[in-house]
């Protein structure tokens, strides 16, 4: 097995090798302090610089307007499924949700426990294999919630819907930093960072100032976005290691050419793999509507489950990990997040052709 394999898993992501090596160099003795950063007080000057640099880099790389705040919180995206309606679904208000699969379904389910959350559109009729379009957002809605990329089903919003003056709240867990964002459409963006930005254990929230003014003040302190914003996400001890690793990842994104470069790389990687699927469609198949295919999570099937099991096992022997599809879907899945080298996608594409030729159906 090579020292570094290609990790196609959909959960914790491939991280940029320069970021990993930098963390390795600095882990035991951070900036000649005689101790690890992760042993220090989060109130100290050294960590404070790391923390504020991470916020500044996020603003710079994402071209964030001045009227947005960056928050680093615990609990992952799943915690936000509840925190959002707790803060914004007061009595007499309602929100609309576009249901595109597992994570969108969970977000809607949690919101319904708290307030008036309504399903505006869904692709459940075709097992969530497409992105709903042509729906009309109620102008009285408190927000419109979407999940921009769906890791399990392999679909993605390639065009953000028109919500008029209704702020869009978006779970971008699995396509963070893969393309530019038209911030005028959004009031709230969130997600776990473990797909594209760092290790698991941190959720990123980007919230517009006018949304902060609307939060529910009758909540326990940790559940209030305004208190986190007031304290620059240091209301309590933040997830220091995850924030540090995200900072190193953001430095890599910037050095690579920013979001324009990430967007081009996402196209290049996904096109290599979808190209094999389409060219050899007598053997490989992708169940997702072509125009809605995810560039992050590529789901595909082989002629039968025995061949799929063999493909996954042989792929691992070749240094390609995580090609098994989600248990609720089956088949195969290649997750090609930001730090996946194009060479990894090319290696998988080559292996797919070789496997087909060696294992006729």
Q: Looking at the annotation, which residues are catalytic?
A: 103, 171, 195
Please, what's the b/e burial string for 62-88 (b: 16 or more CB within 10 A of its CB; e: otherwise)? bebeeebbbbbbebbbbbbbbbbbbbb
Q: 324, 9 in Cβ contact below 8 A?
A: no
Q: Count CB neighbours of 352 within 10 A.
A: 25
Give the burial class of 224: count Cβ atoms within 10 A of its Cβ; 0-12 exposed, 13-18 middle, 19 or more buried.
Answer: buried
The residues near 7 (Cβ < 8 Å, ≥ 6 apart) are 13, 14, 321, 322, 340
DSSP H helices in the chain: 17-26, 45-61, 76-88, 102-114, 209-212, 225-230, 240-256, 258-279, 305-317, 342-358
Q: Which residues contact 328 (CB under 8 A, 6 or more apart)?
A: 102, 152
């Amino acid at each position: 097995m090579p020292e570094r394999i290609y990790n196609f898993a959909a959960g914790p992501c491939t991280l940029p090798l320069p970021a990993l090596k930098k963390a390795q160099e600095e882990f035991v003795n951070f900036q000649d302090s005689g101790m690890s950063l992760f042993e220090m007080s989060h109130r100290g000057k050294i960590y404070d610089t790391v923390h504020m640099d991470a916020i500044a880099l996020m603003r710079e790389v994402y071209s964030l307007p001045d009227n947005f705040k960056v928050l680093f919180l615990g609990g992952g995206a799943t915690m936000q499924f509840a925190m959002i309606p707790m803060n914004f679904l007061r009595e007499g208000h309602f929100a609309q949700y576009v249901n595109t699969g597992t994570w969108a379904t969970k977000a809607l389910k949690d919101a319904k426990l708290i307030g008036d959350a309504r399903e505006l559109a869904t692709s459940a009729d075709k097992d969530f294999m497409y992105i709903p379009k042509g729906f009309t957002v109620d102008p009285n809605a408190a927000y419109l919630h979407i999940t921009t990329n769906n890791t399990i089903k392999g679909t993605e919003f390639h065009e953000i819907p028109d919500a008029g003056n209704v702020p869009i709240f978006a779970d971008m867990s699995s396509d963070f930093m893969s393309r530019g964002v038209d911030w005028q459409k959004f009031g709230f963006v969130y997600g776990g960072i473990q797909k594209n930005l760092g290790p698991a254990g941190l959720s990123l929230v980007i919230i517009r100032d006018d949304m902060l003014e609307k939060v529910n003040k009758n909540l326990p302190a940790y559940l209030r976005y305004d208190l986190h914003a007031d304290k620059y996400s240091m209301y309590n001890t933040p997830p220091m290691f995850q924030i540090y690793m995200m900072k190193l990842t953001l430095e890599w994104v910037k050095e690579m050419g920013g979001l324009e470069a990430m967007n081009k790389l996402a196209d290049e990687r996904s096109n290599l793999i979808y190209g094999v699927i389409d060219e050899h469609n007598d053997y490989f198949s992708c169940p997702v509507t072509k125009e809605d295919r995810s560039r992050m999570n590529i789901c595909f099937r082989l002629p039968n489950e025995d061949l799929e099991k063999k493909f996954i096992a042989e792929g691992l022997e070749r240094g390609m990990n995580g090609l098994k599809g989600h248990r609720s879907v089956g088949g195969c899945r290649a997750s090609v997040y930001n730090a996946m080298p194009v060479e990894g996608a090319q290696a998988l594409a080559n292996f797919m052709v070789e496997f087909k030729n060696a294992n006729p159906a």
